[in-house]
Amino acid sequence: MSTAGLATDAKLEEVKLAIQALDPSATPVAYIKRFAEVGDTTYIGYAVTTGAVIATSDSVWQIRKATDSGIFYADGEETFDKIWDNRASLEYYD
C-alpha cells in the first residue's frame, strides 16, 4: 500500500508551524489519532483535543480510509463529525 499523502507526525508539525507563521498568536491544534488495519485497508481517525474525554462513539472524528487505490474521506468530507466506531460502515470518497 502506498503511504503517499498519509498524515505523519512530521507533516502535522509542519502544518502547525505554517499556521503559526501566518498568525503567531494562533494556538496549534492537537489531535487524538487512531489507526485500524483491516486486511489491505487502513482507517485513520483524528479528533481535536478539547481537554474532555473523547470516546470512539462521539461524533467528533475525521476519518480517512487508505487503500491501494488512494486515501478517501468518510462521506467525502474533511469534517470532524463522524463516529470512529462506525468507520467500516461509512461511505468513502475523495
Q: What mean pLDDT, rounded, does the chain reach?
A: 83
Q: What is the percent of the chain with per-residue pLDDT over 70, rounded to a whole number?
A: 70
In this prediction, residue 13 carries a pLDDT of 67
Range of the domain at 81: 29-93
CA 50 to chain centre: 16
Q: What is the pTM of this model?
A: 0.70
Q: Tell me whether residue 19 is in a domain.
A: no
In a domain, 2, yes or no: no
**Could you give the CA distance from residue 40 to residue 32 in angstroms, rounded to a whole number?**
23
**Does 62 reside within a domain?**
yes
53 within a domain of the structure (yes/no)? yes
For residue 50, the model assigns a pLDDT of 81
Give me the residue label for grid cell 507533516: 11
Side chain identity at residue 89, one-letter code:
S
Domain count, the chain: 1
Instruction: Name the one residue in this structure whose C-alpha cell is 488495519.
Output: 37
* Residue 14 exposed, middle or buried by CB count within 10 Å (0-12, 13-18, 19+): exposed
